[in-house]
Amino acid sequence: MEDKKQKVYEILIGILKEFAEEKELDILENPEMSTNLYGSEGNLDSLALVRLAVELEEAISDEFDKDITIVDDRAMSQKRSPFKTVGSLIDYLMLLLEEEE
Amino acid sequence: MVTIVTGTRKGIGRFLAEYYLEKGHIVIGCSRTESDLEHDNYHHFIADVSDEKQVKNLVKTVYKKYGKIDNLINNAGIAMMNHIIFTSVSAVQRVFDTNYLGTFIFIREVSKIMMKKSYGRIVNFSTVAVPIHLDGEAIYASSKAAIVELTKIAAKELGSYGITVNAIGPAPIKTDLIKNVPEDKIERLLNYQAIKRFGEFGDIANTIDFYINEKSDFITGQTIYLGGL
């Protein structure tokens, strides 16, 4: 994994582990790329999804000094949301970071 | 208290900035040009409320400096009075950019900060022209009707994070905003009100005081039209 993607991965996993502790969600303790986040089989509710987006924006701004805005017309849709899995969210974050280059 | 007031160069915004400074708040104001308001606790940003990047920068700077934002008063607005037939597309765009888009961007960015403390008070500006459906105000009143709806839904979406969102619909006040409105139109407008007089700055401050009071944590999604409509 390239450095930047690795860092994004670590940021996301860090936040998810905090969520796991707070919400007693064992599945988020050791998330994998395929772990479901949001959607029909998701482990996060819409409240947690909003908080995740806010915390990711801040952590990414601190780490890369880039202000991304996690908005997407599909964000709240159940099927094609970039928030569906850990993997899809990392891909989406990388895309947002690239757009900021 | 850390309070953001948009559109503080003149009019209601300027009054509110001075009013909350006097009450001991740290006030962050913004407008498209410099402000001559000088106070140890006042910080002015030159920003266009409809410019996403500028608003994000403002909110981030305030958060880094103070670690929180308690109140957001979305006052910035522009008026337009014209018959639909004579209204240009660019004028409509301009009114919606400032009145609606600017309010939306500020709500989105500031509520992210408020969520962290599970506390926040957001006050938006509508107008009495909305329930009156005043002719000549199609675009201005539409942009402010959109604010009423935005307020109601934002209240629902942000309620679980301890953030209240309300709106105020001021009656005509003698500011620059209405200086070009013909006297008979204003007269007609005042006649719709239960109490037929011009609004005062103090009427607005009183309503906002109620909304941003810490005890008003069960008051959300509301619009108060001044003067009785």
pLDDT digits (tens, 9 = 90+) for A28-87: 888 899 999 988 888 888 888 888 999 999 999 999 998 888 877 766 665 678 899 999
| Mean pLDDT value of segment B95-122 | 97
pLDDT digits (tens, 9 = 90+) for B22-56: 999 999 999 999 999 999 999 999 999 999 999 99
In this predicted structure, the answer to whether residue B86 has a pLDDT above a threshold of 80 is yes
A56-65, B1-10, B127-136, B183-192: the lowest-pLDDT one? B183-192
At residue A95, what is the residue type? L
B70-74, B84-88, B170-174: the lowest-pLDDT one? B170-174
In this predicted structure, the answer to whether residue B20 has a pLDDT above a threshold of 90 is yes
Task: Name the more confident of B172 and B206.
Answer: B206
Q: Do A69 and B56 touch (CB under 8 A)?
A: yes
Q: Which residue in A65, A72, A75 sits closest to A101, CA to CA?
A: A65
Query: Which fold does the domain B2-225 belong to in CATH?
Result: Rossmann fold (3.40.50)
Residue A76: per-residue pLDDT: 66
| Mean pLDDT value of segment B72-80 | 95
User: What is the average pLDDT score of chain B?
Assistant: 95
Query: Which fold does the domain A3-100 belong to in CATH?
Result: 1.10.1200
For residue A53, what are the contacts with CB-CB under 8 A and spacing of at least 6?
A70, A75
Q: Which of B57, B112, B113, B157 to mutate to test the interface with A (most CBs of A within 10 A)?
A: B112
- Which residue out of B19, B100, B140, B192 is catalytically annotated? B140
| Mean pLDDT value of segment B143-166 | 97
Residue A75: per-residue pLDDT: 66
Residue A79: per-residue pLDDT: 63
Could you state, in order of their start, the residue ranges of all structural domains in chain A?
Answer: 3-100
Active site residue B192: no
| Mean pLDDT value of segment B2-8 | 98
In this predicted structure, the answer to whether residue B220 has a pLDDT above a threshold of 60 is yes
Residue B177: per-residue pLDDT: 65
HEC string for chain B: CEEEEECCCCHHHHHHHHHHHHCCCEEEEEECCCCCCCCCCEEEEECCCCCHHHHHHHHHHHHHHHCCCCEEEECCCCCCCCCHHHCCHHHHHHHHHHHHHHHHHHHHHHHHHHHHHCCEEEEEECCCHHHHCCCCCHHHHHHHHHHHHHHHHHHHHHHHHCEEEEEEECCCECCHHHCCCCHHHHHHHHHHCCCCCCECHHHHHHHHHHHHCCCCCCCCCCEEECCCC
- Nearest by CB to B115, from A54, A61, A67: name it: A54
Chain A environment of B104 (Cβ under 8 Å): none
Could you state, in order of their start, the residue ranges of all structural domains in chain B?
Answer: 2-225
Residue B16: per-residue pLDDT: 98
